[in-house]
């Protein structure tokens, strides 16, 4: 049985004028760490709200652990943990008070499932008496995760937990998710950061309310249809402008210090490099590389 | 039940940790009482009075000292200069002038017609009228005192009594009004804002997703405010009794129960407002504009309803505070029992049930 | 000798015992894309507020576009543009109304606003949407438009606070094209970001840790110094040791 099933889900707002989710189908297996990868406005939050029974879909059906998201919403509500996109704890309550409150609300207590939250909670325990509003971004996020876990949910929904959080805290957060997964909790997480996709077992790339691809990150990358090259020179912006006017180039996107390019049929990277050097670009270097999720995402976006 | 208690506890934390809420909760009644009790009183006190005494005899002296001895007037030194009046009025030294013509005492002694001119500041007609009444009353009393035998057979001197308020305490009428106003603002505004804040924060999403019943969320939200409002009600009563010397004539228990009913009405309205909006500002604006202003206008404690056009009188029937005002006046000031206010109570009960039903029915167990 | 647009010397901002910004010093050259990185709570926002003339420093010296951050904050505000992920444009005004409003605020003459806003809308490919409400635009467009509005009055420096958060990868790159173009026209860019690949697009970057500038160099030099493959690694090494965190 799949932990989460979405079957041709469509959700619109403003009397159908805005299509947030457009005929989405996917399945998340038991115990899987599943990522919804896409920019803001792609429809990630709407999907989460449908699965957490907060929104009704216009069309299609969805189930969580076999329970229907519309009919059996009560059964679902007691089995899931949910961390909404915005930091949603009481800023004027302390760490301990927040935790106690949510534990009681979900009919549990801090002690009851302490094993589950121990690793995370001990990091914020020194700040037990501090008000949640005074915590740093990373700590707020840990507290929110504790609150979502406190009743030992079967499925955990995390909507953009790492947005606005710095690189260090983000790394820690993903490490925590990995250890939760090992305890058998199914996790559905969304993120706008493409680099985080690699940390999920399977991902769905979502853009404009549509799923562009669902697979393991490695498979998605393997499906990249052509060879991808990385090219750089001293003046990267000049190089980028030059490449855009080059007929041999199919696509060119800046990626850090490199520009990732794909070539049209019959073109050759060595010829291109020479051409660029002849045009006065200094220290041109080019190599074939393995694409990343972001490369795949861009390619799929442009195909759509 | 444990969840319910935890929820209520949390709600109290919110209130006691937010200075703004506390200020509205307990600062408002104090401010209102002080404002209405002392600053905005309709009683006339310490009116400055210029006396032009062109006669300067014993009688004028006696009358002037009578006026001086009343607490209503502060008398500027008397003069014979008629021009002083205009000057004093312009410079704000007098609100009123009293002019004794020459030979005032002689005429009085000899049974002739006595004239006396009162000039008041008509830019404030209410005060002006009151002043004229006071002076007339004082002079009439004086006239009887100096020549009781001269009373003409056809002169009728009315002796007035203000029932339920013999001392003419101006605080009496507005206390029920302030109670209605404060409870209305506190209950409606704070309840609606506290629900909407959860929506703004995003915590409402978690509450809805939890196994806690959505309706219980609303009830648990309302209970702390019910308790606080009752505390508030007691605070107003204490202030009324000990600061403004208003006596509670009727049953305190009846008053308490009626107030509780009114508070529940207001809480229901607050919940109703919170259903219709997602922003704290809108909620606050709706409660303030939508509730406070009608309460002030249509309750009857600031503007007499009898003088309003028919349409407004009909509208005023829809305002819960109007009924509460009538009940409090009857119970607190007149000392009447439940048999005199059951109709008003029934109207209020009907309103509460209606508001609460709509609020609970409209509460969304999902987002939009 | 390159023209310096921002000069910062031992700039400090203290809140009680807390040094939000602790003796930071750096220069920013004209037309440079200057990346300003740091973990949450490192003091980025506070430093940026001072440089925008919104907050007085406790001690130290700084000039922005030649104006003193203590005394000439009004002059600073006239010479800078500002855009952040959170506040950009009025959602319930149309695109043209937004441009007119912000142009007017910065004292661009009305005739010039008219002419340049037409050009701008055409360049962004938004001619058909010009009279639509900004709220109806997709996020990526909003951000691109917001940037254009921020540099509409041709400021000497533009401050960008996480301008590309949550934007799709293609639009993010289009956004950076606009940044490059603005820099080439002589506008200095001061930008914060959470995307480490974007750090690579900057001419120079500073990394703040616990209120101090821990590193200031070109991305290539930083990578060489820390023997790292990418900026992500550089940042992680520097920020991991941070003692404090906060917003």
Report yes or no on B155 lying in a domain. Answer: no
B130 and B265 both lie in a single domain: no
Q: How far is CA C192 from the centre of its chain?
A: 6
Report yes or no on B162 lying in a domain. Answer: no
* pLDDT tens profile A42-54: 999 999 999 999 9
Query: Using H for helix, E for strand and C for coil, what is the string for C55-117?
Result: CCCCEEEEEECCEECCCCHHHHHHHEEEEECCCCCCCCCEHHHHHHHHHHHCCCCHHHHHHHH
B333 and B189 both lie in a single domain: yes
Touch between B and C (at least 3 CB pairs under 8 Å): no
Distance separating alpha carbons of residues C159 and C143, to the nearest angstrom = 14
- Residue among A64, A56, A58, A47 nearest A5 (CA): A64
Whether chain C has a CB inside 8 Å of the CB on A259: the answer is: no
Report yes or no on B163 lying in a domain. Answer: no
Mark yes or no for CB contact A84/B7 under 8 Å: no
Q: Which residue of chain A has the CA closest to B213?
A: A74
Q: In chain C, what percentage of residues exceed pLDDT 70?
A: 97
pLDDT at B131: 80
Q: Residue B224: pLDDT above 80?
A: yes
CB contact at 8 A, B21 and B13 = no
Per-residue pLDDT, averaged over B198-220, amounts to 86
Question: CA-based Rg of chain B, rounded to a whole angstrom?
Answer: 28
Residue C18, SS3? Answer: strand
Whether chain B has a CB inside 8 Å of the CB on A75: the answer is: no
Mean pLDDT of chain B: 82
Identify the residue whose tokens are 């440089």: C51
B132 and B244 both lie in a single domain: no
B128 and B174 both lie in a single domain: no
Sort out which chain A residues have CB atoms less than 8 A from B2's CB and list them: 104, 107
Distance separating alpha carbons of residues A252 and B165, to the nearest angstrom = 90
Q: Residue B348: pLDDT above 70?
A: yes
Per-residue pLDDT, averaged over C36-43, amounts to 84
| Residues paired with residue C72 on neighbouring β-strands, in sequence order | none
B135 and B234 both lie in a single domain: no
Distance from CA of C121 to the nearest CA of A (A): 22
C6 — pLDDT class (breaks 50, 70, 90):
very high
Mark yes or no for CB contact A102/B14 under 8 Å: no
Q: Residue A67: pLDDT above 90?
A: yes
* pLDDT tens profile B140-186: 888 777 766 555 544 455 555 555 655 555 566 778 888 888 888 88
Report yes or no on B367 lying in a domain. Answer: no
Distance separating alpha carbons of residues A141 and C246, to the nearest angstrom = 12
Q: In chain A, what percentage of residues exceed pLDDT 70?
A: 100
Query: In order of start, what are the domains of chain A with their CATH numbers?
Result: 2-222 (3.40.50.300), 228-303 (3.30.70.100)
CATH of the domain at B106: 3.40.1710.10
CB contact at 8 A, C36 and C48 = yes
Mark yes or no for CB contact A97/B205 under 8 Å: no
pLDDT at B32: 81
Q: Percentages helix, strand, coil for chain A, rounded to the nearest 5? A: 35, 30, 35
Choose the closest CB to B211 out of A56, A78, A88: A78
Q: Which of the pair, B79 or C69, is modelled with greater confidence?
A: C69
- Residue among A133, A121, A299, A126 nearest A212 (CA): A299
Question: CA-based Rg of chain C, rounded to a whole angstrom?
Answer: 18
How far from each other are the two terminal CA atoms of chain A, in whole angstroms? 32
Whether chain C has a CB inside 8 Å of the CB on A224: the answer is: no
Boundary of a domain, candidates B150, B182, B217: B150
pLDDT at B165: 57
Per-residue pLDDT, averaged over C155-166, amounts to 90
| Residues paired with residue A229 on neighbouring β-strands, in sequence order | A261, A288
Q: Which residue of chain A has the CA closest to C236?
A: A168
pLDDT at B164: 60
Mark yes or no for CB contact A92/B17 under 8 Å: yes
Distance separating alpha carbons of residues B177 and A232, to the nearest angstrom = 78
Boundary of a domain, candidates B96, B124, B150: B150
CB contact at 8 A, A29 and A197 = no
Report yes or no on B143 lying in a domain. Answer: yes
Distance separating alpha carbons of residues B151 and B154, to the nearest angstrom = 8
Distance separating alpha carbons of residues C148 and B126, to the nearest angstrom = 63
CB atoms within 10 A of CB B163: 7
Report yes or no on B248 lying in a domain. Answer: yes
B84 and B51 both lie in a single domain: yes
Distance separating alpha carbons of residues B316 and B298, to the nearest angstrom = 5
Strands C4-15 and A249-255: unpaired
Neighbours of chain C (3+ CB pairs under 8 A): A
Domain hosting B130: range is 47-150
Neighbours of chain A (3+ CB pairs under 8 A): B, C
Choose the closest CB to B205 out of A88, A106, A147: A88
Mark yes or no for CB contact A136/C40 under 8 Å: yes
pLDDT at B153: 45
Q: Residue B335: pLDDT above 50?
A: yes
Q: Residue A225: pLDDT above 50?
A: yes
Q: Which of the pair, B115 or A201, is modelled with greater confidence?
A: A201
CB atoms within 10 A of CB C229: 10
Residue C217, SS3? Answer: strand
B66 — pLDDT class (breaks 50, 70, 90):
confident
Whether chain B has a CB inside 8 Å of the CB on A14: the answer is: no
Helix (H) or strand (E) holding C12: strand C4-15
Task: Please give the tally of structural domains in chain B.
Answer: 2
- Residue among B225, B214, B280, B295 nearest B32 (CA): B295
Mark yes or no for CB contact A39/C242 under 8 Å: no
Sort out which chain B residues have CB atoms less than 8 A from A12's CB and list them: none
B182 and B113 both lie in a single domain: no
B71 and B174 both lie in a single domain: no
Distance separating alpha carbons of residues B68 and B256, to the nearest angstrom = 44
Best of A39, A44, A139, A140 to disrupt the C interface by mutation (most C CBs within 10 Å)? A39
Q: Which two tokens stand for residue C243?
A: 């003692």
What number of C-beta contacts closer than 8 Å exist between A and C? 100
Mark yes or no for CB contact B208/A54 under 8 Å: yes
Mark yes or no for CB contact B367/A49 under 8 Å: yes
Mean pLDDT of chain A: 92
* pLDDT tens profile A130-171: 999 888 878 888 999 999 999 999 999 999 998 878 788 888
Choose the closest CB to A84 out of B6, B206, B210: B206
- Residue among A273, A281, A299 nearest A241 (CA): A281
Distance from CA of A240 to the nearest CA of B (A): 43
Choose the closest CB to A137 out of C40, C230, C235: C40
Per-residue pLDDT, averaged over A185-205, amounts to 94
Distance separating alpha carbons of residues C168 and A301, to the nearest angstrom = 9
Q: Residue B31: pLDDT above 90?
A: no
Sort out which chain A residues have CB atoms less than 8 A from C38's CB and list them: 166
- Residue among B332, B334, B195, B204 nearest B267 (CA): B195
Mark yes or no for CB contact B209/A107 under 8 Å: no
Whether chain B has a CB inside 8 Å of the CB on A298: the answer is: no
Three-point CA angle B212, B216, B221, nearest 5°: 115
Query: In order of start, what are the domains of chain C with their CATH numbers?
Result: 4-91+138-240 (3.40.50.300)
B174 and B79 both lie in a single domain: no
Q: Which residue of chain A has the CA closest to B14?
A: A92
Report yes or no on B7 lying in a domain. Answer: yes
Mark yes or no for CB contact A166/C171 under 8 Å: no
Report yes or no on B15 lying in a domain. Answer: yes
CB contact at 8 A, A44 and A190 = yes
Choose from A232-236, B236-240, C35-39, C66-70 the range with maximum mean pLDDT: C66-70
B314 and B357 both lie in a single domain: yes
B122 and B216 both lie in a single domain: no
CB contact at 8 A, B331 and B341 = yes
C247 — pLDDT class (breaks 50, 70, 90):
very low
pLDDT at A295: 95
Distance separating alpha carbons of residues B265 and B320, to the nearest angstrom = 8
pLDDT at C34: 96
Q: Which residue of chain A has the CA closest to B10?
A: A101
Mark yes or no for CB contact B366/A54 under 8 Å: yes
B52 and B36 both lie in a single domain: no
Distance separating alpha carbons of residues C208 and C212, to the nearest angstrom = 5
Q: Which residue of chain A has the CA closest to C244?
A: A136
CB atoms within 10 A of CB B252: 12
């Amino acid at each position: 049985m799949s932990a989460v099933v979405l079957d041709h889900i469509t959700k619109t707002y403003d009397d159908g004028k805005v299509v947030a989710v457009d005929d989405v189908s996917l399945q998340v297996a038991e115990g899987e760490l599943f990522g919804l990868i896409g920019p803001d406005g792609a429809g990630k939050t709407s999907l989460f709200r449908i699965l957490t029974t907060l929104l009704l879909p216009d069309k299609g059906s969805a189930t969580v652990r076999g329970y229907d998201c519309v009919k059996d919403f009560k059964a679902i509500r007691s089995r899931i943990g949910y961390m909404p996109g915005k930091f949603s704890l009481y800023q004027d309550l302390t760490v301990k008070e927040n935790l106690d409150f949510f534990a009681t609300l979900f009919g549990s207590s801090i002690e009851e499932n302490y094993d589950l939250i121990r690793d995370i909670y001990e990091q914020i325990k020194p700040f037990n008496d501090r008000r949640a509003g005074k915590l740093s971004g990373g700590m707020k996020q840990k507290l929110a995760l504790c609150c979502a876990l406190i009743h030992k949910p079967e499925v955990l929904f995390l909507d953009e937990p790492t947005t606005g959080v710095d690189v260090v805290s983000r790394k820690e957060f993903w490490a925590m998710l990995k250890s939760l997964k090992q305890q058998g909790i199914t996790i559905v997480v969304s993120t706008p950061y493409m680099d985080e996709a690699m940390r999920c077992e399977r991902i769905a790339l979502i853009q404009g309310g549509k799923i562009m691809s669902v697979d393991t990150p490695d498979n998605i990358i393997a499906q990249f249809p052509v060879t991808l090259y990385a090219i750089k020179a001293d003046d990267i912006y000049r190089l980028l402008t030059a490449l855009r006017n080059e007929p041999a180039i199919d696509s060119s996107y800046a990626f850090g210090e490199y520009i990732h390019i794909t070539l049209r049929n019959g073109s050759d990277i060595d010829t291109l490099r020479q051409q660029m050097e002849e045009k006065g670009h200094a220290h041109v270097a080019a190599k074939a590389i393995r694409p990343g999720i972001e490369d795949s995402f861009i390619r799929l976006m442009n195909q759509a | 039940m444990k969840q319910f208690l935890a929820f209520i506890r949390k709600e109290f934390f919110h209130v006691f940790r937010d200075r703004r809420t506390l200020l509205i909760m307990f600062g408002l009644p104090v401010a209102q009482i002080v404002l209405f009790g002392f600053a905005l009183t309709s009683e006339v006190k310490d009116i400055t009075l210029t006396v032009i005494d062109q006669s300067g005899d014993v009688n004028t002296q006696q009358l002037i000292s009578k006026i001086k001895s009343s607490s209503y007037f502060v008398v500027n030194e008397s003069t014979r200069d008629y021009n002083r009046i205009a000057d004093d009025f312009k410079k704000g030294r007098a609100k009123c002038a009293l002019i004794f013509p020459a030979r005032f005492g002689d005429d009085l002694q000899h049974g002739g017609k006595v004239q006396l001119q009162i000039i008041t500041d008509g830019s404030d007609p209410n005060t002006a009228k009151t002043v004229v009444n006071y002076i007339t009353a004082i002079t009439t009393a004086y006239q009887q005192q100096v020549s009781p035998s001269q009373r003409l057979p056809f002169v009728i001197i009315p002796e007035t009594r203000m029932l339920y308020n013999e001392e003419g305490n101006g605080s009496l009428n507005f206390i029920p009004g302030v109670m209605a106003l404060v409870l209305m603002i506190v209950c409606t505004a704070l309840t609606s804002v506290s629900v909407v804040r959860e929506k703004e924060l995003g915590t409402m999403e978690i509450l809805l997703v939890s196994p806690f019943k959505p309706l219980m969320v609303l009830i648990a939200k309302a209970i702390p405010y019910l308790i606080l409002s009752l505390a508030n009600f007691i605070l107003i009563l204490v202030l009324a009794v000990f600061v403004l010397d208003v006596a509670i004539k009727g049953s305190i228990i009846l008053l308490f129960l009626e107030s509780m009913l009114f508070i529940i009405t207001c809480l229901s309205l607050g919940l109703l407002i919170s259903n219709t909006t997602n922003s704290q500002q809108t909620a606050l604006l709706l409660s303030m504009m939508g509730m406070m202003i009608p309460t002030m206008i249509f309750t009857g404690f600031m503007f007499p309803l009898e003088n309003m056009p028919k349409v407004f009188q009909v509208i005023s029937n829809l305002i819960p505070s109007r009924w509460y005002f009538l009940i409090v006046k009857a119970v607190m000031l007149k000392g009447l029992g439940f048999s005199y206010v059951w109709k008003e109570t029934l109207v209020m009960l009907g309103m509460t049930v209606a508001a609460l039903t709509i609020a609970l029915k409209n509460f969304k167990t999902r987002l939009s | 000798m390159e023209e310096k647009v921002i000069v910062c010397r031992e700039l400090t901002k203290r809140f009680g015992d807390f040094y939000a910004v602790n003796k930071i010093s750096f220069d920013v050259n004209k037309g440079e894309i200057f990346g300003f990185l740091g973990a949450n709570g490192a003091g980025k926002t506070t430093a940026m507020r001072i440089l925008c003339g919104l907050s007085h420093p406790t001690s130290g010296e700084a000039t922005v576009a030649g104006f003193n951050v203590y005394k000439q904050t009004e002059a600073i505000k006239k010479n800078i543009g500002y855009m952040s992920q959170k506040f950009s444009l009025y959602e319930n005004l149309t695109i043209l109304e937004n441009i007119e409003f912000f142009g007017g605020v910065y004292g661009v003459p009305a005739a010039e606003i008219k002419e340049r806003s037409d050009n701008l809308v055409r360049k962004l490919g938004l001619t058909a949407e010009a009279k639509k409400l900004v709220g109806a635009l997709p996020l990526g467009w909003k951000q691109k438009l917001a940037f254009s509005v921020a540099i509409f009055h041709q400021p000497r420096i533009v401050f960008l606070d996480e301008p590309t958060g949550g934007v799709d990868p293609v639009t993010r790159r289009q956004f950076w094209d606009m940044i490059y173009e603005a820099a080439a026209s002589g506008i200095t860019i001061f930008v914060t970001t959470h995307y480490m690949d974007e750090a690579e697009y900057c001419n120079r970057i500073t990394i703040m840790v616990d209120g101090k500038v821990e590193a200031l160099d070109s991305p290539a030099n930083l990578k060489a110094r820390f023997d790292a493959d990418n900026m992500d690694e550089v940042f992680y090494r520097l920020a991991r040791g941070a003692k404090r965190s906060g917003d």
